Amino acid sequence: MSKKIIFLALATFVAINPFSSPVKADSGQWEPIQATEVWEYNQYKVEKVSFDKQSVGPISLGSTVLVAEPISSCEPVGCDRYDVYVLKDGSRMFIGNLPAVVLNEQRYFANEKEFVYVDTSDLDQNHWNVVTVDLETGKETIAVKDFFMDGVEEMDVRVADGKFYFNPSFNWNNHEGYSQGTIYVYDPKVNDMRVVPD
């Protein structure tokens, strides 16, 4: 009941922002949310929470609610990396520097409720990690480590039946990127990546 009330009570206001501060909490630590106003009723409490005008959310992922802000190095230009706050039972947990792609409710449920993304593991963008995030603890785990795929500009991942499916967009010799019609699948049980046959 309190999860629904907190979600319903979230409102976006620009004047006060209890989420942004010069000092960020460490990832995975729960701390109380500082509400701008509070109303007490017989069986529940309603808290009004304010966000920065550049915030994204609230985003509902089942019983979990997220609010995200662009990372400080993205301002004022903008980029696709966010600091995410997980909200639950009047508390918040900070998870820093996540790609924007994870802030999609449909994608979360399509990935069997896995909060998962692909991130480059080298500066040349030839090696990649698949990272999962536990929204209860904030713990990030590398599910697939340092796999090689050359010429990839960006890549998305889908999870199904314990396997990881990749759809890369390539950029060869600085030409315009294109989505290859090939899907790759990685099975961690046998440590093998293959092309999915048509």
For the chain, the average pLDDT equals 77
Predicted local distance difference test score (pLDDT) of residue 76: 56
CA–chain centroid gap for 119, Å, is 12
Contact present, 52 and 85 (Cβ < 8 Å): no
75-87 pLDDT, tens digit per residue, is 655 678 899 999 8
| Distance from C-alpha of 174 to C-alpha of 155, rounded to nearest angstrom | 16
pLDDT at residue number 78: 60
Q: What is the sign, positive or negative, of the torsion defined by CA atoms of 23, 29, 31, 35?
A: positive
Mean pLDDT for 133-146 is: 89
0.85 exceeded by the pTM? Answer: no
Q: What pLDDT score was predicted for residue 180? A: 58
Q: Inform me whether the pLDDT recorded for 102 exceeds 60.
A: yes
pLDDT of residue 5: 41
For residues 86 and 138, is the Cβ–Cβ distance under 8 A?
Answer: yes
Tell me what pLDDT residue 85 has. 92
